[in-house]
Each structure stands twice: as structure tokens, then as C-alpha cells.
Amino acid sequence: MENGNLPSKPAVPELEKKLLGRIKGSKKPLRIMHVCGTHERTIAKYGLRSILPKNIEVISGPGCPVCVTPEEDINIAIALAKSGATVVTFGDMMRVPGSAESLLDAKSEGANVKMVYSIDDAIALAEKKPELEVVFFGIGFETTVPANAAALLRKTPENFSLLTSQKQTPPAVEFLARDADVDAFIAPGHVATIIGTKPFESLAEKGFPIAVSGFEPGDILLGINLLQMQAEEGISRVDNGYPRAVKPEGNQIALKIMNEVFETSDSEWRGIGKIENSGLVLRKEFEEKDAAKKYEDLYASALEDVRKKTGGKDKKRCICAAILTGKAKPSQCPNFGKECTPKNPAGPCMVSQEGMCYNWFRYSREGGNRVA
Amino acid sequence: MCIAIPGKVKSIVNENTATIDMGGICRDVNMDLMGGANESQIGRHFLVHVGYAIAEISEEESEETMHLLRQIAGLEEIDTPESESI
């Protein structure tokens, strides 16, 4: 077992014990969805599901940016790399399968693909090697996007461009709330660090209690308890359970920078489909930095090759789509832990530390070790 | 979403960049989302995500979060640098 090094009797600090006692004191059943991969990591890591009462169910929504990047966007990145561009991105993104292969597969076939820690590393590479056409494959939510915007507001070299697959969280949560079997939401703490709590208010107005949470076990338990208290009172609002990092108005500087460079668009979410106003694309003033436009002709034939390999259809490797929308658990997937493992992921949810399948595989087949 | 690491500003590199100590590892971090880098930030604590500071936090919060991250790092033997990137 990969969890063999876990302490046999992990301590449950006093605050967590008190919160747990309050949670157990509520009789109101609640099905809660979180939309943050790092929340899933904390929940699985500390076995929180195993200590919650039976009337509280916590499910994972589409909170892992790697998991929701559509196959076609990965296909385009691969096509660009195979066309001669140097495609750079975060490590997790390199391992996520597109329609036929991953960027890492393409690299092993000779395509120029590199891993970076930050968009600034990609820009530094473009500056250092002017003979390369460096394309940064920018994925992620509002936590990551402002960094991309800030980088583009500085002078970037001509041989640098951005291939965007960026997404906004609140529209996705609202989309899921329309038909998901969910009573309340835990909102992502670091996304809220940027956007604040206000963007979640319209969802609360539709009757869903919401609590912004931090990332320690006590933060998650606090979030659950805040949602319980709202549900018991029959109200719905946005509670800020992470005030030490989240201000109601968010990070105004980051928002200004983000809005200066990017504008809202519709966006495709892997396993979910198109969600209106959930994407962020470059504004017209920055289109010379848009790799999809800059290299449109260059990658067209390579992209056609990728599409031919798959016959234009997505491979049905796993049930990540159902998992991302809270309709299935990882252990219900026939490939989970067999053909799909962290070392050999068949689907995106098994790739990243933020993926639900990764965390379920890593810590427990039922989503978390017992800690109390 | 997104893992963010807390750290303490040790020095200022230029108007965009500060050197931040994150659990004993110093990295140059972009401060644009904090309004730029300046000397008054030395000794203050920030959350860092993909090379950019995204929020200022208290010293206490920084230490608590770093303690948690160390605990996780100590228990997780197969983590790879690339999987920490997002």
C-alpha cells in the first residue's frame, strides 16, 4: 500500500475534535460538493470521509484543472509540438492523454516538449533561445490565470506565445448546480483569494449554502459545519471560512491585470461539455501572443493527423466524466487501480495530485484513510 | 483549486521580483499581483502559486501551512517535482 508510512494513530487536534462534535450534532443530511483538487487531497489524505457522520456526504466536482482540460486542446498542443514549436507547460499537463497520446508521448517521439514551474520560466527560455518558437500551454483557473496575464503585460519576446485553455470556476459551479444532486458547495480557497467571495453570491441566491474553505483538515471541517448551520437555519449565503487569505473583494490588483489581458468566453470542459462564459481568452490587443492564431496554418496538418488516429472520437478509457460531475465514485470505474494507476494513468483524474482518482488510489479505495 | 506555498520575503531583486524563503528553499518570486516588489515587503509572508505571490498572509498562518506541507512531504515518498507544478 502506498499509505504504509502513515502514522498508525494520527493526532486529531482539539479544534478538529470540537468541529467534528458539532458536525455530528447536526441531524440534517447534506450532500456537499467541493470544486478544488487540493480540497480533495486534504479530504483523502486525512481520511475525513471516514470520520464524518453518515448523513454528510462530500463529493468532488471539477476542481482539478488538468482533469477538465479537453482532449482537443491537448491535441492542438501536441500538433504544435510536432510542427516544430517548443511547447512548455506544467508537469502534470504533460501526462494527460489527448485523443491519441499525451504531450509526454509526443516528447518521446521527438517533439519538443518541456516542463516549467512558471510562465516566467517559459519566457526566460524564449529569451535565451531566440531560434525557438516557444508556446506556453496555459491551463488552470483564476488562481493561475493572473500570472499569465501579468507575464503578458510585461514585454515578452517575439518568439513567445500562449496557447490558452483557461477556465473560470463560478460558471462551472452554477452549471453543475442545475442538475447535480447537491445541497451545498465548498468553494475553492485559493480561487477565492483572487476573485473574492462575491462571484459565488448568485449561486447562494439560488438556494445553495456556500462556504469558502482553506486547505487544512480543520478548514474543511469548518466549511462543512458552516454549511450545516446555514442548512439548519434554512438560509443560503456565502460564508468565508478562510478569512486569513481571502478578502470578500479578492485580490483587486490580480483581477485588474487578469481583466486587462483576458476576456470571458464559452469554454469546453472535459467530460462535461461546453459551459457558457466559463473560459478566459486573450483580448484582441494581445492576439499576436495567441498561439492558436499565430500558428494556425502550421499545426493544421499535424492536428489532422491526430484526429485521424482517433477517428474523431474520444477514447472511452474510464468514467472520469461521471466522476468530475459527482455522479460516480472512482471505485466504480472498471479501470480504476487496474489499467489506470498514477504511474500509468488512463484518464485525467488519475494524473494530478488534485485528481480525485489519484487521491482515492493513493490514500484509500474509498477516498481517505481513517484518522480517528 | 491549486496548491500555494507560503514563504517569507528575504530580499528584493528588482521592481517585479522578490526572493522568498519557502521552508528553507529560496526562490525568486514575481510580485506583480501584489502591486510589485518593494523593500517594505521584506520579512512579510505571502502565498506563492506557480512562481507568483497571490496573497499576503500572517506569519502564524505561514508557519501553520508550512508545517502541514512538511508533514505531507514527509509522508509522501513518490511525489515528483512535476506533480507539484500546478
A144 to B50: CB separation less than 8 angstroms, yes or no: yes
CA distance B12 to B29: 10
Query: Going residue by residue through chain A (372 aa), what tens digit of pLDDT does each one get?
Result: 333 333 333 455 777 888 899 999 998 999 999 999 889 988 988 889 989 999 999 998 888 888 899 988 999 999 999 989 999 999 989 988 888 889 999 999 999 999 999 999 999 999 999 999 999 999 999 999 999 999 999 989 999 999 999 999 999 999 988 877 899 999 999 999 999 999 999 999 999 999 999 988 889 999 999 999 999 999 999 999 988 889 999 999 999 999 999 999 999 998 888 999 999 999 999 999 999 899 988 778 777 876 776 665 555 667 888 888 888 889 889 989 888 898 888 888 888 888 889 988 888 766 654 433
DSSP state of A356: H
Gap between the Cα atoms of A224 and A185, Å rounded? 9
Asked if residue A129 belongs to a domain, the reply is yes
Which residue of chain B comes nearest to A4, CA vs CA? B75
Name which of A5, A117, A191 is nearest B1 (Cβ-Cβ). Answer: A191
Chain A CB contacts of B38 below 8 Å:
none
Per residue, what are the HEC states of B42-84?
A: CCCEEEEECCEEEEEECHHHHHHHHHHHHHHHHHCCCCCHHHH
Facing residue for A120 by CB, picked from B30, B54, B72: B30
Contacts of A215 in chain B (CB under 8 A): 3, 65, 68
Q: What angle do CA A157, A89, A357 make, to 5 degrees?
A: 165
Sign of the dihedral defined by the CA atoms of residues A215, A216, A221, A223, in that order:
negative
Examine residue A3 and state whether it is found in any structural domain, yes or no.
Answer: no
From the number of C-beta atoms within 10 Å of its C-beta (0-12, 13-18, 19+), residue A340 rates as buried
Q: Are residues A138 and A209 in the same domain?
A: yes
How far does B42 lie from chain A, in Å, by closest CA?
A: 19
Say if A9 falls within a structural domain: no
The pTM assigned to this predicted structure is 0.87
| Nearest-angstrom CA–CA distance, A192 and A301 | 41
> Is the CA virtual torsion A187, A35, A223, A31 positive or negative?
positive
Statement to judge: residues A334 and A246 lie in one domain? no
Q: In a 3-state reduction of DSSP, which class is residue A341?
A: strand
Whether this model's ipTM surpasses 0.95 comes out as no
Radius of gyration (Cα) for chain B, nearest Å?
13
Compare all CA atoms of chain B with the CA of A63 and give the residue at the minimum distance.
Answer: B1
B4 min Cα distance to partner chain A (Å): 8
Q: What is the dihedral of CA A247, A249, A250, A255, to 10 degrees?
A: -170
C-alpha neighbours within 13 Å on the C-beta side of residue A232: 12
What is the CATH number for A88?
3.40.50.11740
Residue A181's contacts (CB-CB under 8 Å, 6 or more residues apart) are A31, A326
Backbone dihedral region of B68: left (phi > 0), alpha (psi from -120 to 50 degrees) or beta? alpha
Do both A269 and A350 map to the same domain?
A: no
- Chain A: closest CA distance from residue B51 (Å): 5
Q: Is residue A2 part of a domain?
A: no
Q: What CATH number does the domain located at B5-73 have?
A: 2.30.30.140
B13 close to A (CB below 8 A): no
Asked whether residue A227 is domain-assigned, the answer is: yes
Range(s) of the domain holding residue A326: 319-363
